[in-house]
Amino acid sequence: MLIQYKQYYLHQRPKGPTTDSDVKVRTVEVDSLAEGQLLIKNEYFSLDPAIRGWMDDVPSYMPPIVLGDVIRSSTVGTVVDSKHPDFSAGDMVYGLNGWEEYSLSDGYFLTKVPQDNQFPLHYYLSVFGAVGLTAYFGIHDTAELKAGDTLLMSAAAGAVGSLGGQLAKNMGCHVVGMAGTDDKCQWLIDDLGFDAVINYKTESGNLSAAIAAACPDGVDVYFDNVGGEILDAALLNINSNARIVFCGSISTYNASEPVPGPYNWWQVLAKSAVVKGFLVSNYFEQFETGAGALAQLLTEDKIQFKYEIVDGFDNTLTAFHKLFDGSNTGKLMLKV
């Protein structure tokens, strides 16, 4: 067996948005497997904001990508050869691998697609993958939501935000989203059933008042995917004993200088609020349960899920930039 394939690797640490000087392509080969290894032909890989954070040499919940290593990412594909006792050629699998045509794996953090799967394979990178499970466990567990609560969701037209808002609506919550275009705002209200949506770009400089108008009873849970000025505005509107779910900070990922703030952090003390950092990997043992619940909701038409698939390995970096300029809606993936 001799297989040659292309992969993206980290050449240097980005200073701002990722460029083709930071991430380069090379061809590698594998001619045999060691005991305990398997080779996966990737069908799709994921494009997520967190990947940009992993490129920086800063402490985080996962180690930084080492210079010279493949860009870390979730993938879904087919096992083409295996010397691992738990996987066989022909198995469909998803898990943490990289931006590459094939992945050599030891089986760590790898899950089989159910044999009776009725859904498109890329759903295991989207609604049944990390983003869908982030929304599911973030809303159903970390946020401690109850019927009648007001949820403010940042990046509401994104993969996590759009699904999380629908899950909260299904629980009987008042759901207010924040998005960056009028089209996205209209989609959230017309198609997903959000109660109100704020265009944070047109309301820039007036965000706190816009949130107050959309959340007349205050904010019980703020689901933070972005950080920055939106977090600051949300803090001025939280209720006593509010919960802030800290899921991401996309507004800071491409920053070349230290990001100030949040300026209104004192509101956490003033309102006896609770801030909870949230990693979906903490729920790994419950992934099958969460994916099953989401599949049932999809089957019952209780949730919708928007995604965008960019075709072609060579288009990876161009597609990745869409996450940060706001031009994508829903989950972004690359079809290899």
Separation CA 90–CA 116 (nearest Å):
14
One DSSP character per residue, 205-223 reads T-HHHHHHHH-TT-EEEEE
Q: How far apart are CA 73 and CA 30, in angstroms?
A: 20
Q: In whole angstroms, how far apart are CA 129 and each of 42, 125, 160?
A: 15, 4, 11
- Which domains are delineated in the chain? 3-126+305-335 (3.90.180.10), 133-280 (3.40.50.720)
**Reduced DSSP (H G I as helix, E B as strand, rest coil) percent helix, strand, coil of the chain, to 5:** 30, 30, 40
Token pair, residue 114, equals 């159910």
Q: Which two tokens stand for residue 34?
A: 């060691």
pLDDT at 121: 96
Residue 131 φ then ψ, to 5°: -70, -45
Q: For residue range 88-129, list pLDDT tens digits in order.
A: 999 999 999 999 999 999 998 899 999 899 999 999 999 999
d(CA 157, CA 166): 11
The C-alpha atoms of residue 150 and residue 168 are separated, in whole angstroms, by 9
Q: Of 252, 172, 173, 161, whose CA–CA distance to 198 is shortest?
A: 161
CA distance linking residue 171 with residue 303, whole number of Å: 12
What is the secondary structure of 174-202 as a DSSP string? EEEEEESSHHHHHHHHHTT--SEEEETTT
Is residue 230 within 8 A of residue 198, CB to CB? The reply is no
Sign, CA torsion 224/229/230/236 = positive
pLDDT of 81 reads: 98
Q: Where are the beta strands (DSSP E) in 66-203?
A: 72-82, 92-98, 102-105, 110-112, 150-153, 174-179, 196-199
pLDDT at 288: 86
How far is 236 from 234, CA to CA, in rounded Å? Answer: 5
Contact 181, 328 (CB under 8 A): no
Q: Is 74 exposed, middle or buried (0-12, 13-18, 19+ CB in 10 A)?
A: buried
Instruction: Characterize 146-173 residue by residue with b for buried, 16 or more Cβ atoms within 10 angstroms of its Cβ, and e for exposed.
Output: eeebbbbbbbbbbbbbbbbbbbbbebeb
* Best CA proximity match to 220, nearest among 146, 151, 137: 151
> CB-hemisphere CA count at 13 Å for 251?
19
Q: Enumerate residue ranges in the chain where pLDDT < 70.
A: 250-256, 258-259
Phi/psi of residue 305, nearest 5 degrees: -145, 120
